[in-house]
Amino acid sequence: MVFRLARRRRGFAVGALALAVLAALLSTTPARAEVEHPRQQWLRDSTAGLFLHWGMFTAPRHTDCASWERDVTAGGWSADYWVDEARKLHASYIVLATFHSRLGYAKPWPSAIPGSCSTQRDFLGELVAAGKAKGVHVLLYMTDDPQWHNEVPGVQTLDSAAYSTYKGQQVDLTTRDGFGMYSYDLFHEVMDNYPDLSGFWIDNDNAYWERNGLYEQIREKRPTWLLSNNNEDTPIMDTVSNEQKTGITPAYDYPQATFTPMPRLVEADYKLPTVGQWWYDGNDSAVDYGLSVGRYVANAGSSIKSLMAETAMVNGKFPAQQENFNNFMAQWLPPIWSSLEKTNGGGYMYGGLQPGFWNDGAHGVITLADNARTQYVHVLTKPKSQDLVRLRDNGYRVTGVTDVRTGKQFRFNQSGGYLSILGITDWDTYDTVFKVTTAGQEGLYPQSILKATATAGDSASNLVDGSYSSYWDAKGQLPVSVTLDLGRARKATYLAVNQTEWSPTHARESFGRPEDSARIKDYRVSVSVDGKDWKSVRTSAMPSRRGVQFVDIGNQLARYIKLDVLNTWSGPQAPPFYKQLRIDEIKVGYAYPTNLSNPLPLEAESRDNTLSGKARIDLCAACSGSAQVTGLDRGSVTYRGVEAPTDGIYRLQLNGTTSAAGSFSVSVNGGAPITASLDAGNSDVPGSTAIAVPLKAGSNTIQVSGTAALDRIAVGPMPPASYVPKTTMTVKPSGVVWVGPGQQSVDISAELRLDEDSVDNVRMTPVAPSGWTVTGSPVTKAGLRTGQTIAGSWQLTGPSGGQTGPVQVPVEVTFETVGMPKKVSKVVPIQVRPADRLFMREAESSLNQIGSAGITSCSACSGSQKVRNLGGSDDAHVVFPDVTVDQAGQYTLYLEYTVNGTRSYFVSVNGGTPVEASVTGIGNSTVQTVTVPVNLQAGANTIRIFNTEDSAPDLDRISIG
């Protein structure tokens, strides 16, 4: 087992003991014992948990511990209520977050250790007992963070004096080390007093805990307890929690944003009320049923536990809208519970059909039982127009399909590597679930006959060892080639590739850190009989998606199959993932399972169609129906009876094959031909293209000819007017650009990557504000397909007299999708620096290097952003290159920052001796300034701002005076 150790969210230094522990864990046996251990079995068997943030500052906020406790008891608080509500959600555990930095550091038990609020009534003990009686486990939340001790003006929630007296030494609980000592004692108190607790849910690490071996002591004292850590993959922990992932498409597909692969035990912790705090803030906030149900099911489809946060009021009861959701789930879940209980996610290390994006906008996940003999297809987003769902079968021969709720049997088709479930007319609002029985996989070579070599990285034997827990790492080398040896010349039709699920599927930010997909983008597959003469059989882009991905290569006879990975999806804006590639397993298929007893609608070879001229039906193993119509350059295929509900413009998708760039000519109801281009590919492997066509209500006739072969067509609605294909756009410089007096020029570069669909007539250019000029022409492309990019560079020059105020420079990209005009843009803000500053730059600017620190919003900050998570490790810094002055000498460096408490920066100029700047503040949204004298050389200088040992303040910007 190799651990994927994620970056620390707060980046605190790891002590010598912790490093020694890590070294021990990285040996095979101990490490595997932590990843998969018998104590975890109850959580592995779970589907969901209930996360309860509830404490002294639950609205209405109490500032006195005793009065809060009185109101809790007087309100009728009951442990059984929480346990019963958890059971409605089919949650098998509760995490109680009361000792929370934003809730008053309250201890809901009679504690003998002074230092923060402690109750006389044993709420924790009552909850543990109630849970045990009804089969619900309880974990206790513990925080590492003392910074919110004075969040409420005039209220100090940490009592350093009382704890110092208790310890017989001076301890400041508002420091990280002091708080670490205090909370360390609380861990031991809880372990001693609550043997029926199931473990700790820990919100990041504290260096004091690590130096003093806390986790090892928990393992020794309570070996059956679980340890969970928020947002970090710490080897000694049982569980990795992924906190509140948003900005995903579709919004419910939480696993797209997680970072830890199976078999690691993983949680997704998220809020059920879609607005507001994690705790009750006085509002009965709405629950988005579609989002919440979708997350619940999507997580189960990736073997991720849904830790759902509800906002208990002071008396413990949930607001009405959350109670209503719990009651809904209590009725909605039981009919499909067999598809969720003790299942594994399909498409990953446990096998199964392919989850994710299916036909015509459909989307869903797979859950597995009975060693994948029984699989459940969860359709969370139904297809836009068709009464079928079509997904990759991953070599499983399907024997039957039924609706889990009704038991109704469904017709199905298997061909070309796809399972199509037909005749669906009754869709559940949230999740239509099909039980798919299989006879196992067929048409795949056993991994034992394969050998693998690679031009770089680890031993490629990990790719074919049958274990998804070991992976091949290219070690940053791209392009890179992997060659599979089948032992002798054999038939080969496709590759099934499971990449390591250690990165999100798309560009995003998580706690301010840029992330992107470390998955294969552009690739080429070649085959050879003798290892000397090679034939290229497929060149394409692999979608950035989770789960098994397929590369169809047609009917090949080969001993050797070479996969050239030309690049990956991640861009340089996300350094930890850039040019990184990890693959768990590659399998080779030689045949597709086939069941043609129920034909797919609108197949080109259908007996209902009319073929003319030289058009004929040919075999095509990778095509739907295992056939296609060729000879359309000298003939045509005519569909009759193509139905449309109303008159209007529709999206017509054409699937076909061509080795060189090809096209279709489409005539609807005898109208003028419309041309659809099909990209060059493999003549045995279908691709697709789409055009807009006019259809009348009822029956239509569609005639297709062209230079490509036709597999099938599909008719659906046009994308909504609001639809814009998903793109990733990077513009440099990002953030506010500060210019000085007089005429100034700014160099701008931009790149846009198309992450889905296909677009045409692409044009990229900056739009100059009044008085500015652009040097450089617009960049254009006839079209982009998934994974392709367009990039350009320009120089913007300001007015001759100098800019006098802020301006916005949008870089715009226009294009068409299915003939519909669309636009995306990103703005470069330009402002004039103050007269008393010689240089000024935002901390978050792309011109800087921020290492493992992150960027976050800050309404009070310049540019509305700042750099957070500074300090605690060597690379959690901000490096400002090209800090330019005209003359050598001593200058004043201005640091604009926010901080809660007392923290320090260290400033190093051109690699020189660092200077400490200690600052104090009372809020992370109040910008303050500190000055540091610095000696600069004439021309460009490099300034590094850091704190290797401890957290530093958040940084807004710097300037030179």
Domain boundary pick from 303, 332, 361: 332
- Per-residue pLDDT for 9 more than 60? no
pLDDT tens for residues 895-917? 999 998 788 999 999 999 999 99
Do residues 171 and 37 both lie within one domain?
Answer: yes
Rounded percentage of the chain residues whose pLDDT exceeds 70: 97
- Per-residue pLDDT for 19 more than 50? no
Do residues 435 and 481 both lie within one domain?
Answer: no
In a domain, 29, yes or no: yes
pLDDT tens for residues 223-253? 999 999 888 888 899 999 999 999 899 999 9
Give the per-residue pLDDT at 950: 83
What is the CATH classification number for the domain harbouring 546? 2.60.120.260
Q: Where are the beta strands (DSSP E) in 833-877?
A: 839-842, 854-857, 865-868
Domain boundary pick from 689, 717, 745: 717
Mean pLDDT of 826-847: 93
- Per-residue pLDDT for 18 more than 50? no
Q: Which residue range is the domain that position 460 belongs to?
A: 447-589
What is the CATH classification number for the domain harbouring 353? 2.60.40.1180
Q: What is the pTM of this model?
A: 0.91
The H or E element that residue 193 is part of is helix 176-193
Do residues 186 and 326 both lie within one domain?
Answer: yes
- Per-residue pLDDT for 119 more than 70? yes
pLDDT band at 851 (very low <50, low <70, confident <90, very high): confident
Do residues 411 and 457 both lie within one domain?
Answer: no
In a domain, 2, yes or no: no
pLDDT tens for residues 142-193? 999 898 898 888 899 999 999 999 999 999 999 889 999 999 999 999 999 9
Do residues 466 and 541 both lie within one domain?
Answer: yes
Give the per-residue pLDDT at 856: 86
pLDDT band at 653 (very low <50, low <70, confident <90, very high): very high
- Per-residue pLDDT for 6 more than 70? no
Give the per-residue pLDDT at 901: 79
| Dihedral (CA of 51, 53, 54, 55) sign | positive
Residue type, 810: P
- Per-residue pLDDT for 8 more than 60? no
Do residues 158 and 70 both lie within one domain?
Answer: yes
Q: Measure the CA–CA gap between 386 and 360, rounded to whole angstroms.
A: 7
Give the per-residue pLDDT at 34: 76
- Per-residue pLDDT for 4 more than 60? no
In a domain, 419, yes or no: yes
Do residues 811 and 851 both lie within one domain?
Answer: no
Half-sphere exposure of 679 (CA within 13 A, CB side): 19
Do residues 170 and 268 both lie within one domain?
Answer: yes
Residue type, 247: G
Give the per-residue pLDDT at 2: 26
In a domain, 4, yes or no: no
In a domain, 604, yes or no: no
Give DSSP secondary structure letters for 95-156.
EEE-S-GGGT--BSS--SS-SS-B-SS-HHHHHHHHHHHTT-EEEEEEE---TTTT-STT--
Looking at every residue in the chain, the average pLDDT score rounds to 93
3-state secondary structure of 914: coil
pLDDT tens for residues 456-490? 999 999 999 999 989 999 999 999 999 999 999 99
pLDDT band at 574 (very low <50, low <70, confident <90, very high): confident
Do residues 58 and 181 both lie within one domain?
Answer: yes
Q: Measure the CA–CA gap between 109 and 127, rounded to whole angstroms.
A: 11
DSSP 726: -
In a domain, 263, yes or no: yes
Burial class (CB in 10 A: 0-12, 13-18, 19+), 353: buried
CA distances from 477 to 522, 567, 581, 657 (A): 15, 10, 8, 33
Do residues 149 and 176 both lie within one domain?
Answer: yes
What is the CATH classification number for the domain harbouring 328? 3.20.20.80
Domain boundary pick from 589, 618, 637: 589
Give the per-residue pLDDT at 232: 80
Helices and strands (DSSP H and E) totals, the chain: 12, 53
In a domain, 595, yes or no: no
Do residues 391 and 466 both lie within one domain?
Answer: no
What is the CATH classification number for the domain harbouring 757? 2.60.40.10
How many other C-beta atoms lie within 10 A of the C-beta of residue 188? Answer: 14
Do residues 733 and 662 both lie within one domain?
Answer: no
Q: Measure the CA–CA gap between 432 and 423, rounded to whole angstroms.
A: 13
Joined tokens for residue 344? 């594994």
In a domain, 140, yes or no: yes
Q: Please state the domain count of the chain.
A: 6
Give the per-residue pLDDT at 396: 98
- Per-residue pLDDT for 509 more than 50? yes
